[in-house]
Structure 1
Amino acid sequence: MPYAAERDIQGPHELLTAPGAPFAVLAGEDGRLGYAEGPRTLREFAEVTWAYGERPFLVAGEVTYSYGEFFAAACALARRFTEVYGLRRGDRAVVAMRNHPEWQIAFWATQLAGLVAVPLNAWWTEEEFTYALDDCRPRILLVDGERVARVRSWAGREGVPGIVFHAEPGEEAAAGFERYEELGPADPALGPPEVEVRPGDDATIIYTSGTTGRPKGAVATHFAQAGAAQNPRYHAALAALERGLVPGQGPAPVTLATFPFFHVAAFTAVYSAMAVGGTLVLMRKWDAREALRLIHRHRVTHYGGVPTTALGLLRAAAETGLGLGPLTHLSTGGAAAPPGIVAGCPEEVEPRNGYGLTETSGGVLANCGDSYRRLPGSVGTPTPATEVRIAGPDGRALPDGEVGELWLRGQSLVRGYWGDPAATAAAFTEDGWFRTGDLATVREGLVSVVDRLKDMVVRGGENVYCVEVETALFGHPDVADAAVLGVPHPELGEEVAAVVRLHPGATAGPEELRAHVGRSLAAFKVPAHLLVRDEPLPRNATGKVLKRELRAGVEAALPSS
C-alpha cells in the first residue's frame, strides 16, 4: 500500500485535503493522484498573474518588473512567436541565459504560445549545447549575449532563428538573430495569442544526465507542471497550520532567488511566488555578503538555495553582526543538508529541507519547522498528489523502517524521456511508478534518503554523472583507464574526484587532464582532485571498477582541512 494512502487523516493534513478543500486529490484513469482543483495548464496558471498588477515580481539591481509589466511583455513575445515566427503548439523553444528577469519573460511566453520550453544549463559548453540542440530540435533559440556564441554555429547550420537578450555591447547580432531590446515596448492591452493549450500537451523538456553519461530530456506535460505549481503551496499551508497560523494571511513573500532558473528547484520557488503575488529578488552571482545586503534592503522573507549557499549566508550573518533581519524562512534543496544549517538557524527563522528531482518537476517532499529541527536528516512528507513507495528488489512495498529504493508516483512526474523509450521503460514501471535510484526509509511518517544506487556525484546541488566525466578523460590520448567518484566536502556536500592510469611512457599530469575535461564539460564537472596511479584499477569479475576500494585511497590522499 503506497505511503500516501496510509497517512494520518486527522489534523492539518485533513483540513487541507478533505473533499472540497484546496488540496483535495482524485485518482485519474491511469491511477495516478492529481489535485481536484487548481490550474490544469501553465498558461492557465500564468494568466491569473495579471491581477497582481503593480505588485513587484522580478527585481534585479535597479530594474523591477511589476506583474503587469511582466505579463504584458510575455504576451507580446508569445504573439511574436506565433505571428512573426509562425511557431505552433508543440514546437520546441530553447531558453539559455543567466538569471535575468527576461528569462522568466521568455519562459512564460513559450507557455502562453503553447510551445514546449527547453531550459538549458547556462554553464554548458558549446559541445554540450550542441548535443541537446541536436536532440530536441528547437524551432527558436532564446539566449543571452553570453550564450549566443555557443549556439550560433548550430543555429546557422540548421537555419533556426533566435532572439538575443542582453546582447554584449557593440556586438553585431548574429545572422538570423534579433535583439530583444529592439522589439519595442509591449502593449498592455493585448493578451496572449489565441492558442488552445491542453493539460496533456508537453510543457517542458528539462535535461538531466543519465547512467549512460549523456543528458536525457525529461518531458513534463502541462498537467504535471500545474501539479508542481501546487505542491509547494500545500507544504507552505501545512507548515502554517502546524504553527497555529491561518494559511494565506499576511504580506506576500519576498524571495531571494539563488537557484539558476534552469534548475527544477528554481521552478518550485518561482511557482510559490507567482501563486500569491510574491516578489523574486535576483542575484547575478552568489556572494553571501551581497545576499545579506539584499535581504535587508528588499525586506526578503524567504531564502532558498543549496546547502552550500545557506551555510555561507548564516556565516555572513554572524560575522557581520547584521543577523538575518526580516528573513522568516530558510529552505535548502538540491543536495543533502548538513546539520550545521539547523544548528545555525535562529529560532525565529523556520528551516526547511526537501526532496525533488528533474523527473518530479521540483520538490515533492518537505520537512519544515520543528519536524526538521527534530529530524534534520529527513526530507519529510510527500504532497497529497505524490505517492511514495519504499520498494524491495521485487518492487513490493517494504514496511516502515526498512531500507529500499525510493519510488514515486503522482501528478507532477514527467511522462518520460524525449525520444528515448528505452530509458523511459527502464525508469518507469507500467503502472506509473518512477524508480529514483535513491535508497530510503520511512520512520514516524517521514522519508529519509540514506544512499544512492546511481553512480552520481551531487556537487553543491548539481548532478555530475561519473560516466560522463570518465568518457571525457578517456578522450585524452595518455589515459589508459579512469574512474570518477565523489568525495566528501564540508560545504558542497561532495566534490568530483578521479583516479587515472596512464599508458606506459605517457606523461600527462593532473592539471593537463583537468584542462582536457574542461574543454568539453562544464566547470562544475571537472574533477577537483585527480590522482594518477601506476597500478591497474581494481575491478570485479565482470570488469566493473570497484570504486569502494578506490574511495579510501582517494580520501586518504586529500589535503587535510
Structure 2
Amino acid sequence: MTAPADPQLLLDQAVSRLTGPGGPFEIVEEEVLGTIMPVMKNRGHAIGELISASRAWGDGDYLVTSDRRISFTEHADSVAALATALRDKYGVRKGDRVGILAANTPEWVMTFFATQALGAIAVGLNGWWVPREVTHGIELSRPKVLVVDAKRGAALPELPADITVLTMEEDLPALIAEYAGSDVPSTDIDEDDPAVILFTSGTSGRPKGALHSHRNVMAVVDYHKYSDAIGAAFTGREYDASKPSPLRYLLTSPLFHIASLHNLVVPRLATGSAVILTEGGFDVDKVLGLVERERVTNWGAVPTMASRLLEHGNIAKYDVSSLTAFSLASAPSSPAFKERLKEQVPFARNALVDSYGLTECSTAIAVAVGAELEEFPGTLGRPIITVSMEIRDPFGEWLPDGIEGEVCVRSPFVMLGYWENDEATESAIAPGRWLRTGDFGVIENGRLRLTGRRSDLILRGGENVYPTEIEQTLDEHPDVIECAVIGMPHPDLGQEVSAVVVLRPGAATTEAELRDYAAERLSYFKVPSKWRITSDLLPRNATGKMVRREITV
C-alpha cells in the first residue's frame, strides 16, 4: 500500500493509529486531582521505575561528556548504590528533600534518580544563584541532604546544622564504591506524589518552587516516546519501544531547567538514547566538536546559543550532517531571526522547531514544526497531546479564536502547585485545574500566537527575570528612593536588564556602585547592564501604580 503524499494526512493517520483504541499511546479520560482530563492509558506511574527498566539498554551510551562515557548499566549500578547510601547512611526517606546545587555533570543526573528511587523530592537549585538566593532556596525547601560541586560548595552560605552536605567530586564516588552491588530501593509511590521542585521567578519577587509530581514527569516521558513514534512514521523508520533509540541528544542548558531535566535526561533513560552533556560555559567550537564526534542527531537550544552560531561564521569546518532536529525554546525569537538561522545554519534549514512552555507545565504547551513556521510565521503551533488550551478574559471566561486574552492550559503536565505557597498556587491554578500562564495570545487556525509575555517579565538569553526581585534589592540601598527595572531589546540576548534609579536628594551613588551592590545580592543575569540615575520620580497612575510603558532608560 502506498503511503499518502499529503504530510497532514500522514500525520493524521499516524496519530489515529498510535493514540486510538488499542494503540500504544491510547488516550482515555480519567480523573486527575479531582478533574477529568485526557491521559495516556498505558503510562508509567513512578520515575523510579525507569532505573531498573533502563538496564535493558545494557552497555549503550547514556551519559557522554568530553572525557567520560557512562553506559545505562553503569548508571543504574551507580544510582542503586547512591540511593542505598542516602537511605542507610543519611536516613533519606519518602517525602524528604535532596537538594542539588551544581553545574551539569553525570553525578547531577545520578543524584536525581537516586532521590526518585527513594520517593524523596529532588530540589534543583539554580547553579547561578548567589549565596543570598541559595539561602532562600534552602530555607524554603529544607533539604535533608545537599549535594554540591566543588565550586558551589566553596561558596555556600551558613547552613542549618541538620543538613548534610555531600560533594560530587569526592563524597559521591566514595559512596557509590562503598555501596556497590546494591539493588535499587523499592518505594511505594502514588503517581500524584511530589517528585521534583524546580524554581521559577515570580512577579512577587523571590523565586517560587514549582512542585512536580511523578505523574507530571512520567507524562513528559510518554509524550517524548510518542513524539519519537511520530518522527519514525514521518521518516520511514520502524518504531519499536523494546529497542534502544538510535537518536543522540545534545544537552546545553542547565539541569535545573525543565528543558534539560524533564525533557531530556529523564525521557532518554526510558528510550535508550544517548545524552551528550556539554560542561562549562557555552562555546560554539566545543559544542560543534561534540556534535561531530558523537554524531548528535537532536539539539534543543535557547535563541542566544543560536545567535552565537550565526556569529561563528565557520560552521562548515565541522561535520554536522548528523543533526536532523534543531529546536528553539526558553525564550521568544522573531520570524526574521528564524529565517536568518535557516539561511546561515545548515542543520536549521529543514529541522527547525519552535515551542512554548513553562516550568509550571513541565514540558511544552504548544509546538510548531518547520512547515508551520513557513506557513504561519510567528506561530507557536498547536497544543501537544493531552493539553487543553483556552484563551480567557480577565474574568476567566472563554474567548473565541482571534480574540486576545490570557493563555490558560490544563493537562497531566501541570504542576501540583508552588511548594509551601498556597496563595501563589491558588492564584495560578483556577478551578478545574486550569493553569493561568500570565501570558497573552490569540488562537488562529488552531495555533497559538503570543501577543505579550507576562506583563513585566524580561527574557534574557533564555532566563526568566522578574523586575520585582531586582527592584526590591535595589530599594534596600540607602540612597535609593525608588526604581524601575525593565527589559530593553538586545540583538544577542533577546532582552537585557535595564534599571532607572531615583536617588535621594544629595546622594552621590554611582552606576558602578549600584552595579556592585546588585552583583553581591543577585545572580549575574539579573544585574542590570543599562542604568539611568535620576532625581525625577517615576510616572504613576491614579492608583499609585508604576506606569512602566512610560519609563525609558
TM-score over 0.5 for the pair: yes
Q: In structure 2, what is the equivalent of residue 26 of structure 1? A: 28
1:231/1:363 contact within 8 Å kept: no
1:335 equivalenced with 2:331 (yes/no): yes
Greater mean alpha carbon deviation, residues 335-344 or residues 137-146? 335-344
1:305/1:332 contact within 8 Å kept: yes
Mark the CA change 1:69 to 1:245 in structure 2 (over 3 Å): closer, same or farther: closer
Shift of 1:85: 1.2
1:82 equivalenced with 2:87 (yes/no): yes
The SS at the match of 2:401 is coil
Alpha-carbon distance between aligned partners in 1 of 2:444 and 2:368, rounded to the nearest angstrom: 13
Q: In structure 2, what is the equivalent of residue 480 of structure 1? A: 481
2:249/2:276 contact within 8 Å kept: yes
Alpha-carbon distance between aligned partners in 2 of 1:343 and 1:442, rounded to the nearest angstrom: 28
| Partner deviation per Cα, 1:452-482 (whole Å, 9 max, x = no partner) | 2332111111111100000111111111110
Shift of 1:515: 1.1
Q: In structure 2, what is the equivalent of residue 173 of structure 1? A: none
Alpha-carbon distance between aligned partners in 2 of 1:271 and 1:144, rounded to the nearest angstrom: 21
Greater mean alpha carbon deviation, residues 540-549 or residues 66-75? 540-549
Q: In structure 1, what is the equivalent of residue 533 of structure 2? A: 532
Alpha-carbon distance between aligned partners in 2 of 1:24 and 1:399, rounded to the nearest angstrom: 29
Shift of 1:152: 5.6
Q: 1:91 aligns with which of 92, 96, 99?
A: 96
Greater mean alpha carbon deviation, residues 361-370 or residues 539-548? 361-370
TM-score of the aligned structures, taking structure 2 as reference length: 0.91
Letter in 2 for 1:24: E
The SS at the match of 1:163 is strand
Q: 1:279 aligns with which of 245, 249, 274?
A: 274
1:166 equivalenced with 2:169 (yes/no): yes
Alpha-carbon distance between aligned partners in 2 of 1:536 and 1:471, rounded to the nearest angstrom: 17
Which residues in structure 2 correspond to 1:361-510 (within 5 Å)?
Answer: 361-510=362-511
Q: In structure 1, what is the equivalent of residue 254 of structure 2? A: 260
| Superposition RMSD in Å | 2.2
Q: In structure 1, what is the equivalent of residue 7 of structure 2? A: none
Mark the CA change 1:369 to 1:287 in structure 2 (over 3 Å): closer, same or farther: same
Q: In structure 1, what is the equivalent of residue 227 of structure 2? A: 235
Specify every segment of 5 or more residues in structure 1 that has no aligned partner in the other structure, as ranges. Answer: 1-7, 168-178, 555-561
Aligned residue pairs: how many?
533
Q: In structure 1, what is the equivalent of residue 5 of structure 2? A: none
| Partner deviation per Cα, 1:79-127 (whole Å, 9 max, x = no partner) | 1111111221111110111001110000010001111000000000111
Letter in 1 for 2:257: H
2:358/2:364 contact within 8 Å kept: yes
Q: In structure 2, what is the equivalent of residue 128 of structure 1? A: 133
| Partner deviation per Cα, 1:513-547 (whole Å, 9 max, x = no partner) | 11111111100000111111232111111111111
Mark the CA change 1:493 to 1:136 in structure 2 (over 3 Å): closer, same or farther: same
Mark the CA change 1:195 to 1:275 in structure 2 (over 3 Å): closer, same or farther: closer
1:291/1:313 contact within 8 Å kept: no
Letter in 1 for 2:210: A
1:231/1:364 contact within 8 Å kept: no
2:481/2:502 contact within 8 Å kept: yes
Alpha-carbon distance between aligned partners in 2 of 1:74 and 1:224, rounded to the nearest angstrom: 22
Q: In structure 2, what is the equivalent of residue 291 of structure 1? A: 287
Shift of 1:500: 0.7
1:289/1:313 contact within 8 Å kept: no
Shift of 1:244: 5.7
Specify every segment of 5 or more residues in structure 2 that has no aligned partner in the other structure, as ranges. Answer: 1-9
Alpha-carbon distance between aligned partners in 2 of 1:11 and 1:542, rounded to the nearest angstrom: 56
Shift of 1:451: 0.6
Alpha-carbon distance between aligned partners in 1 of 2:366 and 2:300, rounded to the nearest angstrom: 15
Alpha-carbon distance between aligned partners in 1 of 2:73 and 2:366, rounded to the nearest angstrom: 32
Which residues in structure 2 correspond to 1:279-358 (within 5 Å)?
Answer: 279-284=274-279, 285-316=281-312, 318=314, 320-322=316-318, 324-338=320-334, 339=338, 340-346=340-346, 349-358=350-359
The SS at the match of 2:224 is helix
Shift of 1:321: 4.1
Alpha-carbon distance between aligned partners in 2 of 1:399 and 1:345, rounded to the nearest angstrom: 38
The SS at the match of 1:310 is helix
Shift of 1:437: 0.4
Alpha-carbon distance between aligned partners in 1 of 2:188 and 2:38, rounded to the nearest angstrom: 25
1:111 equivalenced with 2:111 (yes/no): no
TM-score of the aligned structures, taking structure 1 as reference length: 0.90
| Partner deviation per Cα, 1:323-356 (whole Å, 9 max, x = no partner) | 6332111111000123333443437641111111
The SS at the match of 1:183 is helix
Mark the CA change 1:31 to 1:250 in structure 2 (over 3 Å): closer, same or farther: closer
